[in-house]
Amino acid sequence: MATITTQNLGAFFCEPSAPPSELCPQRLPGADEESINALLHVLKDNHQKYHIFFNHQKFHNHITHRALALYALGAPGPLIQAYYDYDGNLQRPAFRSPGEITKENFVEHLADEDYYSAYLDFFAKEVQTLGSVETLEKYVFSDEYNVSQAFMLARYWGAVLHPAIHAGYGLEFGIPGMAVEGLAMAAVTPIPETELLGASFFKTIPALDPTTQSITSKVSTLLLGPGKSASKPDAAGTTAVFDILARILKDDRLGPHKTPDMFAAYGFTVTKRGPLIREYADSWTIDTLKSGEIERKMEELFWMNTLIYAVGGWSEEEFKADFLYMHLVTSALFLPSHIAHLSPRSQIIYLRSFLTMSLTTWIMRGRAPLPLTTFWTATSPSSPTHIPLKPGTLSLNFTAPPAVPAAALANPNPWLAIVHSAIVHENDHYAKIVCAFMHCARVYGARPAGWWVREGEKAELEGLGVLDGSLFLRAAELTAVFQQDENKVHGLAGQRWDFRGFGC
């Protein structure tokens, strides 16, 4: 590449830094010098060798996502390298763009995958000058590149949220090259229309006054410990994401719409239902004058997207691990890393646009029902028979006291088996979703039933009162069982996920 050359590859793809805050995903022990060396080789070699899309349908190259997820889970170097070799078989070679991208012609080649390398060069120069965060602020979260041209925020969330995921890895691990690639990916991502996250969206989020900006900056430093990130919702005058879910479920205008495929469904949902979805997203209360508000809103999105994926995918007949709903969870993993870095106004833009696109994804797949009460009764986290996975065979020849329950002995920490399965599983998305669920369980797993029900009010979302922090383990176990079922038919591009949708 013309800008990220072999001379400065090390600066763009450097050794991972510590997570930017306590509320960001933490890494498991296990990775060593060999793991780091393997990871850096994968990041650099992939950047030089492969295109960001592995086919002309613009399916994404996930090589770096898997490598970083495996590293975070404590995988050894040889395993990281082996999966790079495995995933590389699917890719297509990188190639030079037919021309250069400059500030003057920036908008002329948007959505053109042939200009991916040119946008790489452009954003590498910008990141070299401004840094990753300021480059994101300028090109993704500013009015300049969204109100009348480029519409980069929509592109950032486009293509099943992949640019935001890719750049999010750069923020979480402190790797500028990932931010560069994510921005270039966004630039070559097509969007069906420009208004959902365009001028009208930015008008709803005015510049913050100095007092509000100061307060927001202080309350979003994410210095609070796990499980203490936010107080319970206020009793009156607020709208949480769970209220929005309940209202959408009752809105006949947003019911399932039959379309020939998920690409057509996305275009229909954004163009025909976008204004109504925006109305719902705009009703979400974000009061930056309240202490802990940004963290609380971030937490709401974690819970909402897990509900859509796990409860929405569950029925008494089967669990459908929906491919697009899965991306709602894996993209949420980067909420804390974005919030830790972005300016106060950009935090609000990021949160509200993420909600908008999450609702859009839920609706485009058929607005899956959310039978919380029956889901809770039917799923039992960490029971010894619920998940037929076993941790490693290492034995310390220790006999537990008789008072220890048999169920606890059979599966003392179900996360260990799930992590083991994620590290070695063939599916590149599985490790990512396990990272997301495990992070949520660490930070929010102790939330009691009734946490999200406002005092003195009846919850709009039926069954919300049963919801507790075990949601994330329940979701992880359902996913693990789904992924290990050899009878499951591989879907689009060989992915072992469900592509049927919900009544659409």
Distance CA 97, CA 112 (A): 10
Q: Which of 263-277, 280-294, 398-412, 475-489 has the lowest mean pLDDT?
A: 398-412
Contact indicator for 278, 342 with CB cutoff of 8 Å: no
C-alpha separations of 62 from 68, 159, 289, 329 in Å: 10, 13, 39, 16
Residue where the block lists tokens 């997301």: 436
Instruction: Please report, for the chain, the start and end positions of each structural domain, with discontinuous segments joined by +.
Output: 9-187, 205-395+403-504
Burial degree of 453 (CB within 10 A; 0-12, 13-18, 19+): buried
State the number of CA atoms in the 13 A half-sphere of 341 facing the CB: 26
Nearest to 339 by CA among 243, 437, 216: 216
Q: Could you report the per-residue pLDDT of 13-48, keeping only the tens digit for each?
A: 999 999 999 999 999 999 999 999 999 999 999 999
Cβ-based burial of 389 (10 A; exposed 0-12, middle 13-18, buried ≥19): middle
What value does the mean pLDDT of the chain take? Answer: 91
Each as own residue / partner, the long-range contacts of residues 250-256 (CB below 8 Å, 24 or more positions apart, any chain) are: 251/276, 254/363, 254/367, 255/367, 255/503, 256/366, 256/367, 256/501, 256/502, 256/503, 256/504
> pLDDT at residue 219 above 50?
no
pLDDT given at position 397: 61
More confident residue, 484 or 24: 24
Task: Determine contact, residues 347/216, Cβ cutoff 8 Å.
Answer: yes
Interacting residues of 201 by C-beta distance below 8 A, sequence separation 6+: 146, 153, 195, 278, 352, 353, 356
Q: Which of 390 and 465 is assigned the larger pLDDT?
A: 465
Summarised one tens digit per residue, pLDDT across range 436-448 is: 999 999 999 999 9
Q: For residue 232, what pLDDT is reported?
A: 72
Residue 224 pLDDT > 60 = no
Residues 270 and 193: beta-carbon distance below 8 Å: yes
Name the band, by pLDDT with cuts 50, 70 and 90, for residue 188.
Answer: very high
Question: What pLDDT is recorded for position 223?
Answer: 41
Pair of tokens at residue 386: 């619920």
- Torsion over CA: 53, 59, 63, 64 (sign): positive
The pLDDT score that the predictor gives to residue 231 is: 63
Task: Say what the pLDDT of residue 234 is.
Answer: 62
Q: With pLDDT > 70 as the criterion, what percentage of the chain qualifies?
A: 88
User: Looking at residue 213, what is its pLDDT?
Assistant: 60
pLDDT tens, residue by residue, 376-435: 999 977 654 445 455 444 455 667 788 888 777 777 889 999 999 999 999 999 999 999
Mean pLDDT within 178-198: 97
Task: Summarize pLDDT for 48-98 with one digit per residue, the tens.
Answer: 999 999 999 899 999 999 999 999 999 999 999 999 999 999 999 999 999
pLDDT at 384: 45
Q: Which of the four pLDDT bands, split at 50, 70 and 90, describes residue 4?
A: confident
Residue type, 415: W
Q: How many Å apart are CA 336 and CA 338, to the nearest integer?
A: 6
The pLDDT of residue 394 is 47
Confidence of residue 306 (pLDDT cuts 50, 70, 90): very high
Between 322 and 6, the higher pLDDT residue:
322
Torsion of CA 19, 24, 324, 297, to 10 degrees: -140
**What's residue 2's pLDDT?**
44
Q: Tell me the two tokens of residue 109.
A: 């080649």
What is the pLDDT averaged over residues 268-283? 98
pLDDT band at 116 (very low <50, low <70, confident <90, very high): very high
Please work out, in degrees rounded to the nearest 5, the angle formed at the alpha carbon of residue 168 by the alpha carbons of 162 and 169.
100
- What is the value of pTM for the model shown? 0.93
Span of 330-334, 363-367, 407-411 with lowest mean pLDDT: 407-411
